Amino acid sequence: MSPVWVLGAVTSLVIGVLAERILGMRARRQSEKLTALKERLDVYANYAKLASVRRVEAEETLAGLRHEAAEVEGEILSLQSAATDDAALTPMEFYCVDRVARSSGPLWYVAVEALDATAPWTGIRTYAIAAESAEDARKRIVERHPSPTAFTISPAAPLVLPER
């Protein structure tokens, strides 16, 4: 029985050694796979950090662009309101000094305000005048209304008629 026991013990020993080697190779392969997966995980973690940094940069850039867009929209609205205000300030009814309109020279408008009861009207009248310069337009109105105590005459401003 002892040779059977010896043969069984040696066979068990050989099987144990072979199993240990097979399991050792499987463990090394699994640890190598685990190491490769950890390296990939580190790479993806670095990508995630880079993506978050770039997202923050993009959000800052977007916030800056939104701020600039708001400023530009404000400028546009202020320019539109200024244009509307200027259009509202331009009188729509004019008195003409000349009986025949002059085709040469630009058009000017001059506001004349009646100051006292001796004036033939009350309030402000706006005159449209064709003249070579603002000074010439104002001079022609001063000739028409020479009394400085009865009338106040504003400086001449260019008159641009709207296109229809």
CA distance 66 to 58: 12
Residues 5 and 47 in one domain: yes
Whether residue 163 lies inside any domain: the answer is no
CA distance 96 to 116: 22
Specify whether the CB–CB gap between 113 and 124 falls below 8 A.
yes
Among 69, 89, 109, the domain-final residue is: 89
Global confidence as pTM: 0.42
User: Which single residue is written with the structure tokens 């066979």?
Assistant: 11
Among 46, 67, 89, the domain-final residue is: 89
* Residue range of the domain that includes 1: 1-89
Q: Which two tokens stand for residue 121?
A: 């009207």
Amino acid present at 18: L
Whether residue 130 lies inside any domain: the answer is yes
Domains: count for the chain: 2
Residues 100 and 60 in one domain: no
Residues 69 and 131 in one domain: no
* Neighbouring-strand partners of residue 153: 112
- In order along its 164 residues, the chain shows pLDDT tens digits of 688 888 888 898 889 889 899 999 999 999 999 999 999 999 999 999 999 999 999 999 999 999 999 999 999 888 888 766 655 665 567 777 665 555 566 888 888 888 887 777 788 888 888 888 889 888 888 888 877 778 888 888 888 776 65
